[in-house]
Structure 1
Amino acid sequence: MTVREVAVEAYREALPALGASLVGGLLAGVVLGGMRADLRAVEGLLVLVPALLATRGNVYGSLGARLATGLHQGLIEPRVRAGDPRLRAAAAAALVNGIFTSLFAATAVFAILSTFGMPVAALGRLLGIALVAGLLSGATLVAVVVTVVFAGYRRGHNPDTLVGPLVTTTGDVFGVLFLLIAVRTVALVLGGA
């Protein structure tokens, strides 16, 4: 293949994913903009948002990369099979990592804001929000990553090209949406705003 052919193929595969990423980022911004009252009600939540969103892309992007590598090496088949230990282990590891990273981020936000004497919600409230948001977005992202990687591979696309933009976008959109759900769920359970 010539350099031009490689470039054309890369753009052909990447442009739809990047377009979806742009639209998804705008949707996430709309949801985040609608969370103003929730962001004000839970002190420190605004500091936590970037950390939670970044971990979604990092953790589940790694899952996508592992799956893509497994497909390229012939270690896994591009379909979900009950009892596939490699796929199950990779998905479980990503979900656990995502949840623990969310809990760590909430603890770090609490510690940093407390150290600097800045207002911050109770640690239990931040941990509850991080746990609910991490669990909901993690389960969704595992399903999206597996679906996108396998479907793209079966259609002849390089899954590595698809994973980055789509996982990041899905993580942003669902991350913000599930953060909103988490804030309101924890408020119902723990009481308060």
Structure 2
Amino acid sequence: MSVRGEFWSIYREALPILLIALAGGLFAGIVLEGMVEELERFTGLFVMIPVFLATRGNVYGALGGRIASGLHQGLIPPRFERNDRLVNAVIASFVNGIGISIVIGVITWLALLVLGWEDPAALYELVGIMLIAGLLTSVVMIVGLLALIFAGFRYGYDPDNLVGPIVTTLGDIFGMLFMLFAVTLVGVLV
């Protein structure tokens, strides 16, 4: 295939998912707009949101890259079945996703104290919000990412063209929805 043909192939495969990613980003922004009151209630929460969303992309982008490489090499079949490589990659990303969520809550709380913010949310509130949102987002990211990459691969799409937009879209949409859910739940429990 010529360089020009390869360019158009990548463009054709990536454009629809990028448009879906655009819509997903707009939806996440609308959810964020609806969280303004909650953001004011838990001082420091707004600081955590960009970090939380970025780490979803980092952790699950790495998972998507591993899966894409495994699909290309024939080491991972494009379906949900017991495969040691797939299981190990999923477990590692799940542990990383949950662990980094807790770290985000702790570091944010410490940073707010060091910077002298008045009346930051309690450590257990920030960590609780991050833990709940991180846990729920991790489950959806793993299942959604695998399902979409496997389906795309079976239909002839290059998974490398799909991973970035899928991770971004799922992370933004479900990250914000589960963040709102976690804030509401912690607000009720506290």
Give the TM-score of the pair, scaled to structure 2.
0.97
Paired letter, 1:118: W
Aligned to 1:149: 149
Q: How far did 1:89 drift?
A: 1.6
Q: Which runs of 5+ in 2 are unaligned?
A: none
Q: How far did 1:140 drift?
A: 0.2
CA RMSD after TM alignment: 0.8
CA distance in 2, matches of 1:178, 1:11: 32
CA distance in 2, matches of 1:10, 1:3: 11
Paired letter, 1:154: R
Helix, strand or coil at the partner of 2:117: coil
Paired letter, 2:39: L
Q: How far did 1:16 drift?
A: 0.5
Q: How far did 1:84 drift?
A: 2.2
CA distance in 2, matches of 1:65, 1:99: 19
CA distance in 2, matches of 1:161, 1:58: 16
CA distance in 2, matches of 1:117, 1:7: 51
**Could you list the per-position Cα deviations for residues 79-134 of structure 1 after superposition, in whole angstroms to 9, with x for gaps in the alignment?**
111x3222122111111100111111111111111001113101010000000000
> Residues 37-186 of structure 1 correspond to what in structure 2 (within 5 A)?
37-81=37-81, 83-119=82-118, 120-186=120-186
Helix, strand or coil at the partner of 1:76: coil
Give the TM-score of the pair, scaled to structure 1.
0.96
Q: How far did 1:38 drift?
A: 0.6
1:32 is the counterpart of 2:35: no
Paired letter, 1:116: L
**Could you list the per-position Cα deviations for residues 56-94 of structure 1 after superposition, in whole angstroms to 9, with x for gaps in the alignment?**
11101111100000111111111111x322212211111
CA distance in 2, matches of 1:87, 1:185: 33
